[in-house]
Structure formats: structure tokens, C-alpha cells
């Protein structure tokens, strides 16, 4: 399997390593990136046999491939996906699939005219913990799910303020960066269509009056600041970025919440936070039915079922997983390899990716307008 890569970013590199681990016959045959020469030098001897191109158009026209992986910055995901759609090649697409409503509609139209099978990078739906939650919901042990409380306290949230992610024009905001994962797995667990959303965001911590473009290394407070990228006791030897997160040009909200109504009339609450740290990390949900409540958290790899009408509490402890996203990355990679070989269909489809992005964009619109937004995405 000869894979072409558009945008050789950190996340796609990880997924490529997972694909190669799943099937050693998979290999990177081509890389299209404006920084091709630097990447070639960085890879060193591992670059032998890889062809480098400075644009996606040159790569797609210049070499025969079995599949393409897109790992560009977020704002380019749609544009690059449309180029791949024209070839009909299998596509591994990083989230979010689009960062604007205009791009999302372009993506939908282009996909409708293409034969490319697409696997969207939603590893949470492939984790053992999600599969367990899905099994418990399907068993009827909870009754029908009538209310959901979902949460994501991100302990590495500084990356969205120290690194290039701090540019809102690239990220599209934090709903698209984080909630797109959560909305996807929640939709899959609930099994209903979302019909409306209301949301609110705030920026209370990562703001300030430091000069635009200031880097931690140039700041006089870099030895005392709790977010300093030069202090190894804060981030170790691998900081999350080196820009000042208290500068006047630091974008992105640092907390947000959404209220989503589904077709049956039930509703879901979701909240995420980007300045929680260490033991405060938490990602998962509580799903409540009349018979019982299911609670799970990826940071502990634990699920509990509280029965409402008996004293029974069931606890499930799973492995934390060592291959990324609680074990989801390896299974996600296996699915794409099988799609390239024609032996399987996508288990993380572009339709689900587009729905999740649409919900995030509408949540962002709701936060900006202080009004409920109806969800009509087909």
C-alpha cells in the first residue's frame, strides 16, 4: 500500500506509524508539503524511497498511490480533500473536516460527486471504552437514554495558546478542535439526530497585555510564569509551544459549553475546559436512563453502571492503552488500511465528520449570537 501524505504534521505522522504497525506493507511513498526540503533532511535515511513534492496537485498528478492522508493545518482540510476527491483515491482525513460553513458545504458537494471512500480521524469511537459504553447502552440495562452530561477537561490545553493553534483563523475555535470528537461519539451512543444547539464560551485565563508575537524565551517572567515554555518543571523537555499565552494576540476561548436537543426531545449538556491540569483531567460522559446511569472516563479507562432501583454498582476497569487515544488510533489505522485494500468500508465516515463539524459551527454561531440554532444539516 503506497500512501501519499499532504501536509506532514505531527498527528498524521503518528497515524502513519500506526498504519505501518498494522501492516508492514504500508509505506509512505510520497509527501507533499511546502517545507519538503526541511522534512527530507529531518527524516534522514528514512526518506529513501519517498518522493517529495511542494504541492498536493504535483503529487496527485505525479505518482501512483493506493491512498492519501491529509495532515495539513485545519483550515486546509477541505481544500485538500476536494483535490483527493477528484482522484477517487481512499482518503484519511484529519478532523475537523472543515473550519467554516462555506467549506463544509463545498466539502459536502465535492464528496457527493466523488467515489473516494473516506475515514475521518475520530479515534474515540474505536476505543475499547467506547465499545463497552455502546454495549451497555444497547443492552437496555439503563433503559432508554433520556439525559446526557458530557465533559472534557483538557490537561494539555496550553497547546492551543502556545503553538500555531492559537490562531483562530486556523482552528475555527475550540468546539471544532475538541468537541468535534465528543459530539461524534455522543451522536453514535445516543443514536438520534440532533435538532438544535445553544452554546456559550468564555476566555478568562489565557488573555493578557503582553506584546503580540512574544515568545517565552524573550519574556522577563519566563522563570516564574506557571505556563513558561522554558521551565522544564512545567512541560518537561517538550513544551507545547513557545509563544506567550498571555499576549494580546492569543486567540481561542479557554472554556465552552453546549446544550443540544435530540429528536426525541431529550437533551445533552457538554462542557470543555483548557486550563484544568494534572489530576483534574477528565473526558467522558454520564448517560442517564430511568433504570440506571452509565459513567465513563478515558483518563481512568473506567466505566461504572449505577442501577437506580437496586444497590448494585458495576465497575469496569479497562487497560489505558499504549497506542494513542485510549487504544483507538491503532484500530482507526487498521480500518483505513482495510479500506485501501478494498476489504472493508469506513467505520468513521465523512457523513459523521460533516455532521459533527456542522454541530460545532452552529455551537460557535450560538455563542456569538446568544441564540439557539436549529440543526438542519442533511
Q: Which CATH superfamily is domain 125-206+246-322+357-374 in?
A: Dihydrodipicolinate Reductase; domain 2 (3.30.360.10)
User: How many CB atoms neighbour CB 21 within 10 A?
Assistant: 14
The x, y and z cell numbers of residue 47, run together, are 526518506
Q: Give the integer Cα–Cα distance in Å for 274 and 240.
A: 13
2-124+329-348 and 125-206+246-322+357-374 have identical folds: no
> Measuring CA to CA, which residue among 16, 123, 6 is closest to residue 76?
6
Q: What does each of the 378 residues of the chain score in pLDDT, given as a tens digit? A: 999 999 999 999 999 999 999 999 999 999 999 998 899 999 988 888 999 999 999 999 999 999 999 999 999 999 999 999 999 999 999 999 999 999 999 999 999 999 999 999 999 999 999 999 999 999 999 999 999 999 999 999 999 999 999 999 999 999 999 999 999 999 999 999 999 999 999 999 999 999 999 999 999 999 999 999 888 887 766 778 899 999 999 999 999 999 999 999 999 999 999 999 999 999 999 999 999 999 999 999 999 999 999 999 999 999 877 676 888 999 999 999 999 999 999 999 999 999 999 999 999 999 999 999 999 977
- Among 184, 63, 61, which residue's Cα sits nearest to residue 121? 184
Q: Which pLDDT belongs to residue 325?
A: 80
The dotted CATH code for 2-124+329-348 is: 3.40.50.720
Q: Indicate the pTM of the whole model.
A: 0.96
Domain spans of the chain? 2-124+329-348, 125-206+246-322+357-374, 207-245
| First-to-final CA distance of the chain | 34
The sign of the CA dihedral 81, 82, 85, 86 is: negative
Amino acid at each position: 500500500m503506497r500512501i501519499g501524505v499532504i501536509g506532514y504534521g505531527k498527528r498524521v505522522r503518528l497515524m502513519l506509524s500506526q498504519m505501518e504497525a498494522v501492516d508492514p506493507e504500508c509505506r509512505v511513498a510520497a509527501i507533499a508539503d511546502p517545507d519538503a526540503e526541511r522534512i527530507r533532511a529531518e527524516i534522514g535515511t528514512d526518506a529513501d524511497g519517498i518522493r517529495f513534492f511542494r504541492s498536493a496537485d504535483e503529487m496527485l498528478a505525479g505518482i501512483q498511490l493506493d491512498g492519501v492522508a491529509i495532515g495539513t493545518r485545519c483550515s486546509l482540510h477541505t481544500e485538500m480533500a476536494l483535490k483527493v476527491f477528484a482522484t477517487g483515491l481512499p482518503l484519511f482525513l484529519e478532523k475537523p473536516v472543515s473550519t467554516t460553513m462555506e467549506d463544509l458545504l463545498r466539502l459536502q458537494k465535492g464528496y457527493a460527486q466523488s467515489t473516494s471512500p473516506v475515514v475521518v480521524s475520530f479515534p474515540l469511537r474505536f476505543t475499547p471504552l467506547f465499545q463497552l459504553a455502546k454495549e451497555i447502552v444497547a443492552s437496555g440495562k439503563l433503559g432508554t437514554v433520556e439525559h446526557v452530561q458530557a465533559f472534557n477537561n483538557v490537561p494539555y490545553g496550553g497547546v492551543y495558546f502556545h503553538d500555531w493553534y492559537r490562531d483562530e483563523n486556523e482552528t475555527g475555535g475550540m468546539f471544532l478542535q475538541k468537541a468535534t470528537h465528543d459530539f461524534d461519539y455522543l451522536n453514535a451512543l445516543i443514536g438520534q439526530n440532533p435538532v438544535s444547539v445553544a452554546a456559550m464560551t468564555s476566555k478568562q485565563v489565557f488573555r493578557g497585555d503582553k506584546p503580540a508575537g512574544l515568545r517565552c524565551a524573550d519574556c522577563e517572567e519566563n522563570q516564574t510564569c506557571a505556563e513558561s515554555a522554558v521551565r522544564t518543571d512545567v512541560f518537561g523537555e517538550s513544551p507545547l509551544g513557545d509563544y506567550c499565552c498571555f499576549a494580546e494576540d492569543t486567540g481561542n476561548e479557554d472554556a465552552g459549553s453546549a446544550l443540544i436537543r435530540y429528536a426525541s426531545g431529550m437533551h445533552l449538556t457538554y462542557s470543555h475546559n483548557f486550563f484544568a491540569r494534572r489530576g483534574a483531567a477528565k473526558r467522558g460522559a454520564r448517560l442517564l436512563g430511568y433504570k440506571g446511569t452509565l459513567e465513563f472516563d478515558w483518563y481512568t479507562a473506567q466505566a461504572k453502571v449505577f442501577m437506580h432501583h437496586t444497590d448494585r454498582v458495576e465497575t469496569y476497569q479497562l487497560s489505558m492503552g499504549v497506542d494513542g487515544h485510549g487504544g483507538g488510533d491503532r484500530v482507526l489505522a487498521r480500518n483505513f488500511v482495510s479500506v485501501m485494500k478494498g476489504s472493508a468500508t469506513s467505520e468513521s465516515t465523512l457523513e459523521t465528520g460533516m455532521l459533527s463539524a456542522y454541530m460545532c459551527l452552529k455551537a460557535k454561531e450560538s455563542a456569538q449570537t446568544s441564540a439557539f440554532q436549529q440543526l438542519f444539516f442533511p
